[in-house]
Chain A
Amino acid sequence: MSEDMGLIVKTMARATIPLIGIFGAYVISHGHLTPGGGFQGGATIAGAGVLFLIAFGLSEAKKRYDHHVYSALESLGGLVFLGAAMLGLSVAFFYNTLWRKGIAFAGEPGTLLSAGYLPIMNLAVGLKVFAGLVSAMMAIAVYRRWKE
């Protein structure tokens, strides 16, 4: 059994993986304007990771996957979400002080730099979902109990 899928699939994956990544980043960053958001965009980018694993094989994916980096990225996503929720803790938990006081992300509603802490939370959830799904996929891919 060959390690990767043939030349056509590999060339196609080289063209498609950046496209999927950029589209997932678009879905995450426009989460407060269009359908989608953190989870959907993160799952889309993790689909690019699945495509990499399928097209290039397990050993090539193992070379580019570091468990500690992805674990740290997933924890960082959760911490940024919690930190954005605690920004307005002097008033209430999940108080959108960035929007109410007009500090940052306080543009006209409907533009990209609006909605206070929502874009930050979307970025954090997208990072967390991407790192978690890629870690789970690699853990399942290297788990080979059926080989004696």
Chain B
Amino acid sequence: MIAPVFFYSALIVMIGAFLSVLRVLFGPTVPDRVVGVDTLNTLIVAGMILLGAAYDRTIYIDIAIVYALLSYIGTLAIARYLQGGLE
């Protein structure tokens, strides 16, 4: 069954994700955009779990776990580049 409550909460998460996309677009410096992308990653993981609950499929949670682990690595790679790269 499809529960509408989870769709409403996913909509609220999408509004927050839209605000962080605005930060990525208009951020004056590069670290501003990185923080915006990191916030967007976390919000997308929350949205994935909420949509998995909305469609009542437990296997969708696996994708959220993979995305949470790999987005952390991506942010770390950008941070490593900004602090001077691999030596």
A residues at B contact (CB < 8 Å): 1-3, 5, 9, 16, 19-20, 23, 27, 34-36, 40, 44, 47, 50-51, 53-55, 57-58, 141
Contact mask for chain B residues 53-71; partner A; CB cutoff 8 A; 1 contact, 0 none: 0000001101101100110
Q: Report chain A residues within 8 Å CB of B65.
A: 23
Q: Report chain B residues within 8 Å CB of A55.
A: 76
Of the listed residues B60, B63, B76, the one surrounded by the most CB atoms of chain A closer than 10 A to its CB is: B76
B residues at A contact (CB < 8 Å): 59-60, 62-63, 65-66, 69-70, 72-73, 76-77, 79-80, 83-87
Q: Report chain A residues within 8 Å CB of B59.
A: 34-35
Determine whether the beta carbon of A50 is less than 8 Å from that of B73.
Answer: yes
Instruction: Name the residue on A nearest B65 (C-beta).
Output: A23
* Contact A27/B86 with A5-B80, A9-B76, A51-B76 known, Cβ cut-off 8 Å: no
The 9 closest A-B pairs by CB, nearest first: A1-B84, A1-B87, A34-B59, A51-B73, A54-B80, A58-B86, A47-B70, A20-B69, A47-B73
* Contact A58/B63 with A16-B72, A47-B73 known, Cβ cut-off 8 Å: no
Q: How far is the CA of A141 from the CA of B86 in the complex (A)?
A: 8
Q: Report chain A residues within 8 Å CB of B86.
A: 53-54, 57-58, 141
Determine whether the beta carbon of B76 is less than 8 Å from that of A27.
Answer: no
The minimal Cβ–Cβ distance linking B72 to chain A, given in whole angstroms, is: 7
Determine whether the beta carbon of A27 is less than 8 Å from that of B77.
Answer: no
